[in-house]
């Protein structure tokens, strides 16, 4: 197995960021799209929903292939679908065609979740956490930057242009990846059907994977509740609109930049302690947010802490499951990420309910409770994590 060089590692990190950005370009463009097709905001929200649904399907049906099919072959077919989907979105003449195109964009843009286990496989054992952290840094910066770039491009050139730009970016990126990435040929020889069935096997037999998915899901539920309701708080307490709320996302850069450091730390420090400390950081962030309904400074501190806590927990979870299941890193990552995003969906719903009935106090108590639940799960099941 070839050694993972820093140049290849950073190429994977940049690639993860550029590809995952495809999932989020549409969010600032939804109003423009609704005007173009003369539909309601609720109808156009299905564009964003389709992208997320496609991403979930990609996690389930594409990512496990990393344990069976050569990485370069997967990238070749996946990027071709990605470029075609982005161009189809730009050329869409009806909302339903745009929704279908975004479903395929989401499906093909799950590919960054191949880069994370790929980095774990290629890195030396003592550097595995650092490699995961660097790839995650790129992925997180891609998420944060995508909304800003999309808003600027859409405002000046129209929403279609963003899809054209994204499609053009993917072509040289694929060429670079094909030239620079080491070829990985997995050892799994079974059928695709048996590969998917084995995901259930790992879920049933690997408690560390189940616990990591539960911890990650609970943490992401709290963070999703926060971001779902922040726009309402900004309008109610400060009179700010969605533009200022979106700018809050840039504060997450602190978490993105810290991801590489946390990954390196998890190679040297007891992972159970990192889980405990990162969860305490999450709890502390919710305490700060509870008292910040009318304090912009408090909100800024809370945002930075909640993102740092989430990323520290997330990277440590992945380091644990990749270390214990080297032969099935893509399949256990599928289990973990499905649990992670299922938690996010639950948090979005619970956050909206908490805001509607109990406003910011309810949201803060919800986030605190979800974070405290991670501590309970970790302490009760410590021996199996």
Which pLDDT belongs to residue 293?
93
Q: State the CB neighbour count (10 A cutoff) for residue 193.
A: 8
d(CA 152, CA 370): 35
What does each of the 385 residues of the chain score in pLDDT, given as a tens digit? 567 788 999 999 999 999 999 988 887 788 788 889 988 867 887 888 888 888 888 998 999 998 899 989 999 999 999 999 999 999 999 999 999 999 999 999 999 989 988 888 888 877 888 888 888 888 888 887 887 788 788 888 989 999 999 999 999 999 999 999 988 888 788 898 999 999 999 999 999 999 999 999 999 899 888 876 887 788 788 887 555 666 676 776 766 677 667 767 767 778 888 999 999 999 999 999 999 999 999 999 998 899 889 988 998 998 899 888 888 888 999 999 989 888 887 887 788 888 889 999 999 999 999 999 999 998 888 766 5
Three-class secondary structure of residue 110 per DSSP: coil
Which pLDDT belongs to residue 218?
96
- CA 323, 325, 329, 333 dihedral sign is negative
d(CA 111, CA 116): 10
Which pLDDT belongs to residue 385?
58
Alpha helices by DSSP H, 70-127: 71-90, 95-108, 112-122
Best CA proximity match to 241, nearest among 253, 254, 232, 249: 232
Domains of the chain as residue ranges with CATH: 6-185 (1.20.1250.20), 200-384 (1.20.1250.20)
d(CA 274, CA 320): 11
pTM: 0.81
Phi, psi of 369 (to 5 degrees): -65, -45
Best CA proximity match to 191, nearest among 69, 75, 73: 69
Q: Are 107 and 57 in contact (CB under 8 A)?
A: yes
Q: Are 19 and 143 in contact (CB under 8 A)?
A: no
Kindly report, residue by residue over 205-236, the tens digit of the pLDDT.
999 999 999 999 999 899 888 876 887 788 78
d(CA 53, CA 125): 34
What tokens were used for 119? 């980095």
Helices (H), strands (E): how many in the chain? Answer: 15, 0
Q: Are 335 and 63 in contact (CB under 8 A)?
A: no
d(CA 380, CA 385): 10
Which pLDDT belongs to residue 16?
94
Which pLDDT belongs to residue 26?
86
Instruction: For residue 337, give every residue at least 6 positions away whose Cβ sits within 8 Å of its Cβ, in sequence order, or none.
Output: 59, 63, 113
């Amino acid at each position: 197995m070839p050694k993972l060089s820093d140049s290849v590692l950073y190429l994977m990190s940049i690639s993860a960021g550029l590809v995952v950005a495809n999932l989020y370009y549409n969010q600032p463009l939804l109003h423009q799209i609704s005007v173009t097709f003369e539909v309601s905001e609720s109808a156009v929200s299905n564009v964003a929903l389709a992208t997320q649904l496609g991403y979930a399907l990609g996690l389930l049906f594409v990512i496990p292939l990393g344990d069976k099919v050569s990485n370069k072959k997967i990238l070749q077919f996946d990027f071709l679908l990605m470029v075609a989907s982005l161009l189809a979105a730009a050329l869409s003449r009806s909302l339903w065609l745009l929704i279908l195109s975004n479903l395929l964009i989401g499906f093909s843009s799950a590919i960054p979740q191949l880069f994370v286990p790929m980095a774990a496989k290629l890195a030396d054992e003592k550097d595995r956490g650092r490699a995961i952290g660097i790839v995650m840094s790129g992925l997180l910066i891609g998420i944060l930057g995508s909304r800003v770039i999309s808003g600027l491009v859409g405002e000046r050139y129209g929403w279609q242009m963003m899809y054209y730009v994204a499609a053009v970016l993917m072509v040289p990126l694929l060429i670079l990846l094909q030239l620079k990435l080491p070829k990985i040929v997995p050892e799994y020889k079974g059928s695709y059907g048996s590969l998917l069935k084995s995901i259930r096997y790992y879920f049933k037999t690997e408690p560390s994977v189940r616990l990591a998915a539960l911890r990650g899901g609970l943490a992401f539920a709290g963070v999703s509740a926060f971001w779902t309701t922040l726009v309402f708080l900004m309008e109610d307490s400060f009179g700010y609109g969605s533009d200022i709320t979106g700018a809050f996302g840039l504060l997450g850069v602190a978490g993105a930049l810290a991801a590489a450091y946390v990954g390196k730390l998890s190679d040297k420090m007891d992972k159970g302690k990192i889980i405990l400390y990162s969860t305490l950081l999450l709890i502390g962030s919710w305490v700060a947010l509870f008292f910040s309904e009318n304090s912009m400074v408090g909100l800024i501190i809370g945002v930075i802490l909640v993102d740092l806590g989430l990323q520290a927990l997330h990277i440590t979870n992945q380091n644990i499951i990749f270390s214990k299941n080297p032969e099935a890193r893509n399949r256990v990552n599928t289990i973990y990420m499905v649990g992670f995003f299922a938690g996010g969906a639950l948090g979005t719903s619970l956050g909206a309910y908490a805001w509607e009935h109990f406003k910011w106090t309810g949201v803060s108590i919800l986030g605190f409770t979800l974070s405290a639940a991670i501590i309970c799960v970790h302490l009760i099941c410590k021996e199996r994590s």
